[in-house]
């Protein structure tokens, strides 16, 4: 009903998509038949003269991530989805960047903006092996993702897994390792957070194993093998950077026991979309009506953003032009909007630092001796601790 009403009353593609997201209460699920139909048949009109996007419709949180892109295609597409999100741009990004190994930093940043890791997972009816994990982190433990995993399994049961840049022919997954396929579908939807993982890549050994046993080799394209497919989809086997399926092939070790010691006052979020949830660590004068959380007013980083910052905070955001290294500092005002923005001098982000013979990119952090350093526009800035020994290590 909402879909019919919106298509009758709204006109531009952006308005229609925003309306559907608002009414349906979730972001587009590419495996959802309705979204598949809608996005697949979308033909954006080309206006005779493109106007710059209105600043109010920008997503500054996503725009921050664009500087982390390693290719110009992904940097430009990232700017598109940050300024005027549309179906074609989203599909282009999915096809060229989402699974591009050189864009891991960009993808991780966007994942942190869209779906930050949250503690605990419970109340799922399909991906039940993910329940009762109060001390583990997940990006998307919710009803929509639970339903999305079930929809994925139904689609894959037709014999083809459709990816943005390839189709993978498979045998009947209802008979060939069904529990493992379910763990794949649930992992890709619920997105467990591991220390260095963006939460949507299963480990290569699992990928090769499941496609070796359940891939329909008769329908593989020439030159297509489980190893080559997995090299594109899941090229990593470090359990800190990928999702090991064995963890989710069985229920949580806690079983169905109620764990009273661990609570998550802000998950799910009890506050309105314009408020930030904070755990109430101070308690209340009136204990009879004391909530374990506090809702504090905040500002969205642009009208197209769901990312909130606290009222009164000063925030550095990319300029409207989106030029690399150009920022302005704004204040989150009482109106719930970013105000009093002041442009800062642009920074040359191409200038690298040379440290002990190694090149360090602008914005990277690293250790030299016992001090933490960062490279800022060609200048190395370090803490000033007195070091006992002399060692050098790098993490960025």
* Alpha-carbon dihedral angle through residues 290, 294, 295, 297, given to the nearest 10 degrees: 130
Closest CA to 210 of 238, 234, 193: 234
SS (H, E, C) 38-73: HHHCCCCCCCCCCCCCCHHHCCHHHHHHHCCCCCHH
**Predicted pLDDT at 92:** 81
Rounded to whole angstroms, what are the CA distances from 58 to 54, 80, 171, 351?
A: 7, 10, 44, 28
> Which residues pair with residue 355 across a beta bridge?
358
Is the pTM above the cut of 0.75?
A: no
- Reading the block at residue 86, the tokens are 């549309």
**Predicted pLDDT at 257:** 61
Task: Tell me the CB-side half-sphere exposure of residue 379, using CA atoms within 13 A.
Answer: 5
- Reading the block at residue 77, the tokens are 């597409």
**Predicted pLDDT at 396:** 47
Rounded to whole angstroms, what are the CA distances from 133 to 83, 104, 251, 349?
A: 37, 27, 9, 41
Distance CA 245, CA 125 (A): 19
pLDDT in tens, the chain (396 residues): 667 776 766 556 656 766 777 677 665 555 565 665 665 555 444 444 444 444 447 889 999 898 888 899 999 889 888 876 555 677 788 888 888 888 888 988 998 898 899 999 989 999 999 999 988 999 999 999 999 999 999 999 999 999 877 899 999 999 999 999 999 999 999 999 876 655 578 999 999 999 999 999 999 999 899 999 999 888 888 878 889 999 999 998 876 665 556 678 898 889 998 999 999 988 888 877 889 999 999 999 988 888 999 999 999 998 876 677 899 999 999 999 999 999 999 988 888 899 888 898 888 888 888 889 999 889 999 998 888 755 555 454
Do 344 and 376 contact (CB within 8 A), yes or no? no
Rounded to whole angstroms, what are the CA distances from 348 to 62, 105, 239, 359?
A: 20, 20, 36, 16
């Amino acid at each position: 009903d909402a879909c019919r009403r919106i298509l009758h009353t709204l006109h531009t593609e952006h308005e229609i998509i925003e309306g559907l997201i608002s009414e349906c209460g979730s972001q587009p699920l590419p495996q959802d038949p309705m979204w598949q139909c809608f996005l697949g048949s979308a033909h954006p009109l080309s206006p005779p003269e493109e106007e710059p996007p209105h600043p109010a419709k920008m997503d500054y949180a996503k725009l921050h991530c664009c500087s982390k892109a390693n290719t110009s295609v992904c940097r430009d597409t990232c700017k598109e989805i940050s300024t005027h999100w549309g179906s074609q741009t989203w599909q282009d990004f999915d096809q060229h960047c989402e699974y591009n190994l050189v864009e891991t930093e960009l993808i991780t940043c966007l994942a942190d903006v869209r779906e930050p890791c949250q503690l605990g997972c419970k109340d799922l009816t399909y991906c039940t092996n993910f329940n009762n994990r109060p001390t583990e982190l997940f990006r998307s433990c919710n009803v929509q993702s639970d339903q999305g995993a079930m929809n994925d399994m139904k689609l894959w049961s037709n014999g083809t897994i459709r990816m943005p840049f390839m189709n993978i022919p498979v045998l009947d997954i209802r008979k060939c390792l069904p529990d493992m396929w379910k763990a794949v579908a649930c992992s890709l939807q619920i997105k467990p957070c591991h220390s260095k993982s963006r939460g949507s890549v299963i480990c290569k050994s699992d990928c090769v194993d499941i496609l070796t046993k359940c891939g329909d080799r008769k329908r593989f394209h020439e030159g297509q093998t489980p190893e080559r497919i997995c090299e594109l989809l899941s090229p990593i086997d470090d359990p800190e950077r990928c999702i090991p399926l064995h963890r989710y092939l069985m229920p949580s070790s806690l079983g169905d026991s109620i764990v009273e010691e661990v609570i998550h006052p802000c998950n799910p979020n009890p506050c309105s979309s314009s408020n930030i949830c904070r755990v109430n660590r101070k308690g209340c004068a009136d204990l009879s009506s004391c909530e374990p959380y506090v809702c504090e007013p905040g500002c969205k980083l642009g009208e197209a953003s769901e990312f909130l910052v606290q009222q009164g905070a000063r925030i550095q955001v990319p300029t409207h032009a989106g030029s690399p290294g150009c920022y302005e500092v704004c204040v989150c005002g009482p109106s719930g909007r970013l105000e009093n923005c002041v442009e800062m001098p642009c920074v040359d982000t191409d200038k690298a630092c040379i440290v002990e013979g190694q090149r360090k990119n602008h914005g990277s952090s690293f250790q030299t001796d016992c001090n933490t350093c960062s490279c800022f526009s060609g200048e190395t800035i370090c803490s000033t601790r007195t070091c006992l020994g002399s060692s050098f290590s790098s993490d960025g």
